[in-house]
Chains A and B, each alone.
Chain A
Amino acid sequence: MKNPIMIESRKPGEPKANKLTQLIQSISKMRQRVQVDRYEISKRLTALGLNEEIIDKLISHGIEPLWCIGFDHPIDISLPVDDQLELLYRYAYIEDAGHNWAGGINYKHRSDVLGLRLEDFLPRSIPENVSNLKKMIRANFSLTEFDSYEVYANGAEKIAYNLTLGIILDGRLYKILGVGREITEFKLTEKKLKKTQQRYRTVADFTYDWEYWEAPDGTLIYVSPSCERITGYKVSEFIERPELIFEIVLPEDRDIYYNHNHGIKDGTAIAPGQFHFRIQDKDGHIRWIAHVCQPVFDDQGNYAGVRASNRDVTNLRNAEQKAREYRETLAQLDRTAMLGQLAGSIAHELNQPLTGILSNAQAGELLLQQENSNTNEMQETLADVIADAKRAADVIRNLRSLFGMKEIDFKPLSLNAQIKEALRLLNSDFVINNVTIYTELSDALPNVMANGIQLQQVLINLISNAIQAMQQSTQAKRSISIITAKGNGSEIQVHVEDSGPGIDPERLEGIFEPLTTSKPGGLGMGLSICCSIAQAHGGRIWAENIPEGGARISFTLPAAEKTS
């Protein structure tokens, strides 16, 4: 027994060892040092001015619920733990107890509890009791604290906090003194709290996505263990070095990450936006992350940092990328095949009358060379040439009507509504390509006179071009601005601006010519179609580079005359 007396340090929430327990401890200390039996003890106590009676009174009338266990036979504390436990249950009984303890376990008077066997209030059937007693045995009955699961007179099961001390002389246990206080309520509350805590913890720790809570000072309050699945880095690595999050973001995507919307602007919450960026995981793989975050406020409404959720969307992004490439290839093949087919059928249709024209003309030539040339034959030949030439002209006329060049339906349309519709159609492209859209749509615009389908075609073409132009660039900030304004006279202007690399000045001149393209695999028809549509509407189209960077394509449409 090294130091069986007092443990000064105390965990918060534990009942204090009060003066009385200290007293008991000092008594036992004394007892251990001196002679063995009860008489000797009382003699010593008397010498200290404390007689048995005083102790008796202290125990029976003390405020603290005290108890004292005696034994039919003292227990040899050198025996194995299990044997000692056996003997405790066989020989131990309540030798003395305070009123408060007796009352606490629902007996009327302290005399009612005297002689109770251990089994009566600390049943062996409750595993905690066995383990607590063993704990006491292993500590050689030095000062031990434990929670006991006791059975009270009315059969109620309660939990009590106990501080116990054995009185040992010559390796034998004679008594155990203790103080026990019922803490059932406290325990149950604690248990409940623990369970709730556990539940929240489970919810947080087992989220599949990588979740974190960043404090206003930039430290991380919480990081979910799934961070390791996604990034390869452990929770502890993020907690220790919160800047790790920034470091693993790919340099090209850092601007996006730094400048993203945290769901808070000037101190007030706004709808959080989702955005995508790439990280490099611990093994060096590139992963796509879909990030969404919102501010956290405490009970008092104080800003408490940002709660973020990161989802690994690598597979999704890869699949989307593949699907898009596939779609583009198909569209490309389709366009090429269509053009080829178109060219073939145009050639066929025109070559027939051309055959007639050429053959007749060359026959005419031969006729003229012949001496007895037949005028009738000559006339017929020329008539055939004329008929065939007309037929060739018809072929071309039919072709034009086939492409709907004639019957375009112009209507007064709201330009801003048309732009919003185009933006809605392209929304998924913006999300996929991390493109931010800004609109400056003038409210004071009259309707434009336009064909809705063709206007959509122009808008979608120009915006898609802008997206593609920015794909080629390494610039992190990708934005497109759509601006509408009144132009000269009754003209309405539309500007589509991007933050891409701009247009090669050498190409700027002929950019609306057909078959001009800077895109690999592009047909070079997009802008030329836009140009012919703008012209068919009586408008203009032009391209320029913005001095601050990026390209601007503008076109005009005539305002519809106001009908009232």
Chain B
Amino acid sequence: MTDEKTTVFIIDDDPSARRGLSRLVRVAGMHVETYASAREFIERPHYDGCGCILLDVQMPGMDGLELQEQLVKAEYSLPIIFVSAHADVPDAAAAMKKGAVDFLTKPVDRDHLLKAIAESLEKDRENRKTLDNLARVRKKLAALSQREYEVMTYVIAGMLNKQIAYELEIAEDTVKIHRGRMMRKMNASSVAELVRLTEIVGVKPAEDGQQ
């Protein structure tokens, strides 16, 4: 485990299963929060840190699959591991389709459970890293002027300054100035790096003769 604070959320209406699972995860060294219903979890303040959810399928009120659906809609990115006392193939398939990390049947063996949790946390870290990158690039893009942004789309389309000047009907020297500022603001040392950054956020390269 890393220093970073991680939390495993256990949502299960059955007290035996909830107590047993939470003790096991806690003894394995992770911070645990338990909830007896999906509703209780939703009412909890939004969690920003690293973590995953251990979710029972059959629960009175909102069941595990419904909660998953709600979380996906709300772009709550915590990975979900399902546990069920009643192995049901269609349920498992539906859950996996919506991005669940695993579908375990009760009683759950420790090795399976800890492995699934480890995978989930790894996945969460990845997710969060991607999200961080995205936020950083978006911030840089926001600093670009209209002209600099335009020049950037031509640059990542692989055009030379001369061509860009022609397209934009401005002097080549002017293009050079915009381009220099843009590269500095994007903190990109090469065209290749610029292309990678713009790909993260999905900026489209300009097309020939379009403007």
Chain B residues whose CB sits within 8 angstroms of the CB of A353 once the complex forms: 16
| Known contacts A355-B20, A363-B23; A344/B28 CB under 8 A | no
Closest B residue, CB atoms, query A353? B16
Closest A residue, CB atoms, query B28? A366
Chain A residues whose CB sits within 8 angstroms of the CB of B110 once the complex forms: 358-359, 362-363, 365-366
Chain A interface residues toward B at CB < 8 A: 344, 347-348, 351-360, 362-363, 365-367, 370, 377, 380-381, 384, 387-388, 391
The reply to whether A366 and B106 contact each other, CB–CB distance below 8 Å, is no
Majority secondary structure of chain A interface residues (helix, strand, loop or mixed): helix
For the complex, what is the distance from the CA of A357 to the CA of B23, rounded to whole Å?
A: 11
Chain A residues whose CB sits within 8 angstroms of the CB of B19 once the complex forms: 356, 360, 384
Q: Which of B21, B27, B58, B85 contacts A367 (CB 8 A)?
A: B27
Chain B residues whose CB sits within 8 angstroms of the CB of A347 once the complex forms: 85-86
The reply to whether A366 and B24 contact each other, CB–CB distance below 8 Å, is yes
For the complex, what is the distance from the CA of A308 to the CA of B178, rounded to whole Å?
A: 116
The reply to whether B16 and A363 contact each other, CB–CB distance below 8 Å, is no
Chain A residues whose CB sits within 8 angstroms of the CB of B26 once the complex forms: 363
Chain A residues whose CB sits within 8 angstroms of the CB of B27 once the complex forms: 363, 366-367, 370, 377
Shortest Cβ gap from A556 to chain B (Å): 43
The reply to whether A355 and B85 contact each other, CB–CB distance below 8 Å, is yes
Shortest Cβ gap from B115 to chain A (Å): 13
Sort chain B's interface into a size bin. 20 to 34
Chain B residues whose CB sits within 8 angstroms of the CB of A377 once the complex forms: 23, 27
The reply to whether B107 and A355 contact each other, CB–CB distance below 8 Å, is yes
Shortest Cβ gap from B16 to chain A (Å): 3
The reply to whether B23 and A354 contact each other, CB–CB distance below 8 Å, is no
Chain B interface residues toward A at CB < 8 A: 14, 16-17, 19-21, 23-24, 26-28, 58, 83, 85-86, 105-110, 113
The reply to whether B85 and A348 contact each other, CB–CB distance below 8 Å, is yes
The reply to whether A387 and B16 contact each other, CB–CB distance below 8 Å, is yes
Chain A residues whose CB sits within 8 angstroms of the CB of B107 once the complex forms: 351, 354-355, 357-359
Closest A residue, CB atoms, query B85? A351
For the complex, what is the distance from the CA of A357 to the CA of B26, rounded to whole Å?
A: 16
Shortest Cβ gap from A356 to chain B (Å): 3
| Known contacts A347-B86, A366-B28; A352/B14 CB under 8 A | yes
> Chain A CB within 10 Å — which of B83, B105, B107 has the most?
B107
The reply to whether B16 and A391 contact each other, CB–CB distance below 8 Å, is yes
The reply to whether B86 and A356 contact each other, CB–CB distance below 8 Å, is no
Chain B residues whose CB sits within 8 angstroms of the CB of A351 once the complex forms: 85-86, 105-107
Q: List 5 A-B contacts (CB under 8 A).
A: A348-B85, A355-B85, A358-B108, A358-B109, A363-B27
For the complex, what is the distance from the CA of A97 to the CA of B27, rounded to whole Å?
A: 144
For the complex, what is the distance from the CA of A363 to the CA of B26, rounded to whole Å?
A: 9
